[in-house]
Every structure is written in structure tokens, then in C-alpha cells.
Amino acid sequence: MRRELAAPTPTSSRLALLDGLCQSWEVSEMHPFRWVPADGGRHATADVRLAGAYATGETIVALCARKVTVAKSTEVAWLWPTCAECNSEAHALAESGAER
Ligand SMILES: [Zn+2]
């Protein structure tokens, strides 16, 4: 990033692109929740203990305040309908995180 302060080079636009990608990655990492297939739907959870990995059969508390059991991460599970309450909670969290 410091290189951008130097004289423009043919790679400057590429650096800017990489910088943009880094920023979008940081924003997504800031979202304090994860989506997880559970109990026949896609719920979001803010349970940080489980960040990045959910054990099949483990009970977690979703953003909709339901206790749900984590399903096997199959492709079918990701086609389950999104929990509407989790969805609105997740949007609220994402928006508050973006303002920081
Ligand atoms: Zn839910």
C-alpha cells in the first residue's frame, strides 16, 4: 500500500484492485455471525466459540434465539430456506458493523 505513494507505475491499478479486495475481505470478516444449516433451515449464529467450524449434531443458539442442531454440511442443506428472523438480525449486525 505504501508503494502507491511513489510515482505511478503500470502496476498501480493492480495494487488498487488488491487493496479493494483486501478491504472487502476485512468487511466480511467483521460480520460477527456465521450462517449454518440447522433444523431444516439456514440460521445465523453469533456463537464465536464455533467460528469457522461447526460440529454436526452440536446445539447452537441462532440469532433468532432458537436452539438449533447443526446439520451435516451437505449441498442440500445449503438449499434450505433462510430463517427470516436470523436474516433480519444478520442484516442489522452487518449494517452496524459497516458503520464502524
Ligand atoms: Zn433462525
Do 74 and 37 share a structural domain?
yes
Q: Residue 57's domain spans which residues?
A: 31-100
- How close is the Cα of 99 to the center of ligand 1, in Å? 24
Q: How far is the CA of 66 from the centre of ligand 1 (A)?
A: 6
- What distance in angstroms lies between residue 12's CA and the mean position of ligand 1's atoms? 44
13 and 35 in a single domain? The answer is no
Does 7 share its domain with 38?
Answer: no
Cβ-in-10-Å burial (0-12, 13-18, 19+) of 42 comes to buried
Kindly give the confidence (pLDDT) of every residue in the chain, 100 residues in length, as a single tens digit, with 9 standing for 90 and above: 555 555 554 554 444 444 444 333 333 455 678 888 899 999 998 876 654 567 788 899 999 999 999 988 777 777 899 999 999 999 988 888 665 5
> How many domains are there within the chain?
2
Same-domain check for residues 35 and 83: yes
Asked if 46 and 1 sit in the same domain, the reply is no
Å from CA of 64 to ligand 1 middle:
4
Query: Are 48 and 15 in a shared domain?
Result: no
Query: pTM for the complete prediction?
Result: 0.61
Nearest to 62 by CA among 37, 30, 96, 80: 37
User: Distance from the CA of 22 to the center of ligand 1, in angstroms?
Assistant: 30
By the 8 A CB rule, do 62 and 83 touch?
yes
